[in-house]
Chains A and B, each alone.
Chain A
Amino acid sequence: MDQIFEILGFLLIVLTLFMQWEVYVKSTIVLFAISSFIVAIFLVLLGLRNPQEEYLLFVLAGLTVVVRGITIPVIINKALHRLHEKPWRVREDKPIMGIGGSILVSLGLIMLSYFLYQGSLYGILKVKSGSVPIALFLQASLLIITHKHAYIQMIGFLVMENAVVMLSGWVFGGLPFIVEAGVILDLLGLVVVSSLIMRVRENTILHEGDNYNTELRG
């Protein structure tokens, strides 16, 4: 089972690398939806491994599919469609770092998280490849930092949340169900609110340019 977990973790890291590489927002949304499905598979497997919490983890996997895998990508996608005539052509125009550079940094972060984990936590937790969720979290942070497009920043945050689910399930055996459910509901609310703000933000930038920097300085 641990090897399957490792494969799933590896897949998530590769998907996040693809997100870093991808410039089109729509493709990034699809990649996020796929990564959420992988997280759901992970939760199902975790449920099979822990029969005492089987049902709760299955419910959580179901919630993950419905909320993270379907609803959230649909909401973000709809916001994109409302704003642009050709949503499939919406892309990150001004990444803070080039694709090559950001992938290199991303790989560096994977190594950093490995050494961090091995050096500090592995001795206590004894969970092999526990550095994978940490790497995922750092990669998601990089995705947010290196992009200016609100939609990609939002996806970066959602990948971060997926990393936390992986961390809590894989390394620590999960959070109490009531907390996990609360987290998912909060996330859904946040995406609904954010999609409205993102839409208005992109709309104003589209029509007026980004001239807010002088007022938001200091």
Chain B
Amino acid sequence: MNQHIMYLLPLLFSLSGAVLCIIPVRYLERTVSVLVSFLSLAAAVYLLFQPNYTDNFFYVDGLSKLLMLTIALVYFSTVLYSMAYFKRKKNFLFQYRLYYFLMNIFVAAMFFSVVVDNLGLIWVGIEATTVSSALLVATENDQVSIESAWRYVIIVSVGLAISLISMTFIYGSAGTLSMHELIIHHPENRVFLIGTLLGLVGFGTKAGIFPMHTWLPDVHGKAPSPVSAIFSGVLLPVALYAMYRMIQINPSVTVRLFSMILGILTIISAALLMAVQRNYKRMFAYSSMENMGMILVGFSLGGYGLLGAGIIIVSHGLAKSGIFFLTGNILTAYHTTDMKGVNGLLSRMPRTAFTLFLASMAVTGAPPFGIFAGEFFIFSALIASYGWGIALFLLIFVAIAFISVNFKVGKMIFTSHDEPYNGHSRIETWIPVVNLTLSFLSLLCIPFFEMLLKNLL
């Protein structure tokens, strides 16, 4: 097979799915979306075992492949879950077919962003994710979800305008936006430095990095659960991928330190905000923010920090998407996102409760899940580079996040008793179980991840 086309396969599958979704035939959009998401997953797995590839259009390395795999896994599970979830929903903002059309375009834009060589085109791809996903946020057509969709559009677009400025600075100083050229040779002047720093802030907006994170809890709190799942599981890491490329093209101390400070501030603010949440979807949104902060710290450290970041990307993507599917189940049964209104989950929805308990442990870094291993690598790299002081300081906030989430989830699960709820289809309760199991299994793939990322370590 032609190497050039091979790396576009996941993108081409999702894009062709989007085109087919337009045809007004009953159930076609669902069937096609399941098929193309499965094919994308198969292609992403196949690409894992293919060599890295770089030319004037493509830049595919281990990190790109890892992201393609995570996107494809979350995409497939989201499409499956959406079919069951939306059966009970009415009053859509648009035709049901359009939901799958936008979902496929959204995923295609993410696949595009992680394989192109040109930083400007990465920007175009990430901005295209905003265009395609804004309406997905407002799918359920109530005032709050529309307001959160609007906040998402305006805040993220302003952030991306900042990263577009960064592109002009980088291009103006280096004369190219090609990553492989910039990695080999880049100018050592102030304009280039300002460009990369602005890029970190701009793409950081999309990744939910402090201080431009304010859209994230609003969107995750109000978007339909499958949309929250794919946002949290893969959209945020795709934006972080662009941030990593900024660090890669300018690995100076200033850039690394700046991104590490951003990452630490993100962890601190997320941990503190998590502790005061009463809405369980918003709480898990802040948990995603905390994990993104941790990944950014790993990226800034490089070496084993980068390996840790890679592990968290895969493990968090699977576990957190599973959690958001579970919140969809809870919302359907309890009709509220307020934690006070959710009691006796264990007696009412035992499988959901049990999975939620384990998944919450997983995303907050409890062993034996992948995120624990990822954080372990990042803390090891942090101690090696900056000593114990900063690591212990950061550990306090990781502990706050762990206690906040698990205490609150425990209260929802173990308090009082209620009649069993049998309204969910099997698929709605089993998909989170599968995602959580895969998140656990990612731990066993660490040697393979290390091999994939060895050129970057």
Contact = CB atoms under 8 A, between A and B. Distances in A.
The secondary-structure label for the interface of chain B is helix
A211 interface: yes
A169 B308 CA distance: 41
A184 to B, nearest CB: 10
B131 A172 contact: no
Contacts of A211: 143
Interface in B138-177: 138, 141, 143-144, 146-151, 153-154, 157-158, 161, 164-165, 167-169, 171-172, 177
A190 interface: yes
Nearest to B131: A189
Contact of B118 (A173, A179, A185, A218): A179
B205 to A, nearest CB: 13
B130 A190 contact: yes
B191 A124 contact: yes
A179 B158 contact: no
Nearest to B192: A124
Contacts of A176: 118, 120, 171, 177
Contacts of A150: 150
Contacts of A141: 158
Interface residues of B, number: 50
A129 to B, nearest CB: 16
Contact of B138 (A172, A175, A182, A197): A197
Contacts of B218: 216
A154 B169 CA distance: 25
A157 B138 contact: no
Contacts of B168: 164, 167-168, 171-172, 175
Contacts of B141: 200
Contact of A218 (B93, B128, B146, B282): B282
Contacts of B184: none
Given A182-B124, A216-B218, A154 B138 contact: no
B330 to A, nearest CB: 17
Contacts of A164: 161, 164-165, 168
A182 B190 CA distance: 27
A198 B222 CA distance: 17
B263 to A, nearest CB: 22
Contact of B222 (A154, A161, A185, A216): A216
B332 interface: no
B12 interface: no
A153 B279 CA distance: 28
B127 A178 contact: no
A212 B221 CA distance: 12
Contacts of A190: 127, 130-131, 134, 153, 157
A201 B146 contact: yes
B347 interface: no
A23 to B, nearest CB: 20
B161 A161 contact: yes
B343 to A, nearest CB: 21
Nearest to A120: B190
Contacts of B177: 175-176, 179
Contacts of B231: none
Contacts of A124: 189-191
Contacts of B138: 197, 200
A2 interface: no
A175 B171 contact: yes
Contacts of B217: 218
Interface string A165-205: 00110011101101100110110011001101110110011
A172 B169 contact: yes
A191 B84 CA distance: 32
A215 B144 contact: yes
A137 interface: yes
A197 B127 CA distance: 17
A125 interface: yes
B253 interface: no
A121 B148 CA distance: 37
A157 B134 contact: no
B158 A157 contact: yes
A144 B131 CA distance: 19
A13 interface: no
Contacts of A179: 118, 120-121, 123-124, 167, 177
B131 A216 contact: no
A33 interface: no
A189 B128 CA distance: 8
Nearest to B124: A182
Contact of B93 (A182, A183, A200, A205): A200
Interface in A132-156: 137, 141, 144, 150, 153-154
Interface in B115-129: 118, 120-121, 123-124, 127-128
11 contacts: A157-B157, A157-B158, A167-B168, A172-B168, A182-B124, A183-B123, A189-B131, A200-B138, A208-B143, A210-B143, A216-B144
Given A125-B191, A175-B120, 8 more contacts: A168-B172, A171-B168, A179-B118, A179-B177, A182-B121, A190-B157, A215-B144, A216-B221
- For the complex of A and B, the 5 pairs showing the least CB-CB separation, nearest first, are A172-B172, A179-B120, A182-B124, A168-B168, A189-B131
